[in-house]
Amino acid sequence: MNDRCAEQTRQTSETRVSVRINLDGQGESRIASGIGFLDHLITTLSKHSGIDIDLECRGDLEIDDHHSAEDCALTLGGAIDQALGDRKGLARFGTAYAPLDEALARTVIDLSGRPYARVELDLVRPTLGSLACENIGHFLRSLAMASRSTLHTEMLQGENDHHRSEAAFKSLALALRQAIARGDSASIPSTKGQL
């Protein structure tokens, strides 16, 4: 029986977000954030991490995309944190490189219970579709905070912002897949005895 599933909702005056995940899924997703390029990035995260993600957001897109992007990240991150439980038996760490044509991204993640994010995407365009490029990095930082993870994601090279963004999410997905894997031990992977 799978015990690494979670559901989270977030409702504010700006957004209403619901997320269901299965950490031990098949990378299947149903994403409806209202922002096409964000849907594409979260679908990519699901596919390459193996995490099933069902996410729906109704946000104040008549204002802009910020609240929806941020609250999707916070809700998804909260669901990941919930599904990890006490974090016993985790591999805990993950490192991955992902190319997309000329772009190359690297992500290192630690499911440490200590939220921190360093994200350097160096995107140039103001938007990709209806998603502001500044909200791509903000999404990753918010996801790290809500999942209580230490995250380092950076672009090593690339020219096309679509490729750079997608490579970043693929590298995150692959690193996350390593970090959430169950190890041989049922203990908490920390000298402190807790994460």
Domain limits, the chain: 5-180
Class of domain 5-180: alpha beta
Residues 119, 154: Cα–Cα separation, whole Å: 6
Give the residue ranges of the chain where pLDDT is below 50.
Answer: 1
Of 28, 75, 77, 78, whose CA–CA distance to 54 is shortest?
28
pLDDT value at residue 1: 37
Cross-strand bridge partners of residue 16: 11, 58
Of 189, 180, 186, whose CA–CA distance to 83 is shortest?
180
pLDDT value at residue 2: 60
Residues 130, 61: Cα–Cα separation, whole Å: 10
What's the predicted TM-score (pTM) here?
A: 0.95
Contact 151, 107 (CB under 8 A): yes
Contact 88, 152 (CB under 8 A): no
